[in-house]
Amino acid sequence: MVNPIVARSLDEIRFWSRIMKEHAFFLSLGFTYDQKQLIAEAQHFIDLFERIEEKLSRLTVNSEPRLVQAFNNEVHQAAVAIWAYKRKVLGMTLRCEIRHNNYPLLIDHISREAAYFANRLKELNAGVLAPKPDDIIKENVFFLKIMADHAKFIGHLLDPSERKLVDQAREFSHDFDQLLYQAIDLEHMKPQSKTIPLLDQMLDQNRVSVKSLRDFKKTARELIEACRIKSNIHPLLADHTFREAERFLEIIDLYEATLENV
Ligand SMILES: [Fe+2]
Ligand SMILES: [Fe+2]
């Protein structure tokens, strides 16, 4: 029988290692030509996560749980290291020690994703497969802010002359800010198990909005790839945010399955 912790660990590492590698790549693209040290550090993380992907390809769901646990620890260290690098760049940026083309919110955003990844690995090694009902709201707050941020990045990286798309991105940003606050409101109410219908309702509402944001990102990705719109968005960044929306949808399904088993 497949060990669920092993299967989930490999799945998280497969998804997030590629994401971490791409973050380093996006950061390197945003630096100026004279910021060679920061570019070299970004390149170091691209190589590091590539090596992790290679090791991952040698593991399967039938691998020894002990081996996967050790791998989780190794990847956890890499996730913490890239988190520290991102926070360092954020600090230098906020103190205006460096000027480049990565928005502070974007650097903060990708550091939150690294922290989430590191934390997932720690939880998996502690035997926690999925969040408890009380933690579902907290995780939703995390993902809703991620989605709200994406809408803002897209809106600000599109060419200002793409008025319709900029408006659409702004609407998504507003929609997700509202959902985020709704989730925070619910979090303050400290739900107990009897509020499961409310959690269900929150997940249903979130799913509707994430699906439409996912479709918007898909369209944007296709338009960018075909060079049909003007923007500063790298095609890989468009695909990256699309994949993160797909991931959130999968995670909503996972939460729902957790609630059914309570
Ligand atoms: Fe990301
Ligand atoms: Fe993201």
Fold matches, 1-129 and 130-262: yes
The rounded Å distance from CA 12 to ligand 1 centre is 13
The fold for domain 130-262 equals Ferritin (1.20.1260)
> How far, in Å, from the CA of 128 to the mean position of ligand 1?
23
Domain boundaries, the chain: 1-129, 130-262
- CA 100–ligand 2 middle distance (angstroms): 19
Tell me the CA–centroid distance for residue 50 and ligand 1, in Å: 16
The SS3 call for residue 158 is strand
Tokens representing residue 141 in the block? 């707050």
* Neighbouring residues of the ion ligand 1, judged by CB less than 5 Å: 19, 113
CB 245 within 8 A of CB 214: yes
Shortest-distance ligand to the CA of residue 24: 1
Buried b or exposed e, range 5-16, using 16+ CB within 10 angstroms: bbebbbebbebb
Q: Which residues contact 188 (CB under 8 A, 6 or more apart)?
A: none
Residue 130: predicted pLDDT: 83
Ligand closest in space to the Cα of 114: 1
* Superfamily in which the 1-129 domain is placed by CATH: Protein of unknown function DUF2935 (1.20.1260.120)
pLDDT at 193: 52
C-alpha of residue 16 to centroid of ligand 2, in Å: 11
55 vs 58: CA distance, rounded Å: 5
Cα of 241 to ligand 2 centre, how many Å?
6
Q: Which ligand is nearest to the CA of 153?
A: 2
Fill in the DSSP letter of residue 193.
G
Per-residue pLDDT of the chain (262 residues; tens, 9 = 90+): 889 999 999 999 999 999 999 999 999 999 999 999 999 999 999 999 999 999 999 999 999 999 999 999 999 999 999 999 999 999 999 999 999 999 999 999 999 999 999 999 999 999 999 877 778 999 999 999 999 999 999 999 999 999 999 999 999 999 999 999 999 999 888 656 557 888 999 999 999 999 999 999 999 999 999 999 999 999 999 999 999 999 999 999 999 988 888 7
pLDDT at position 247: 98
Which ligand ends up closest to the CA of 15?
1
150: CA distance to ligand 1 center in Å?
9
Cα of 72 to ligand 2 centre, how many Å? 22
User: Token match 């290692």: residue?
Assistant: 17
Taking the CA of 248 as reference, the closest ligand is 2
Distance (Å) from CA 95 to ligand 2 centroid = 23
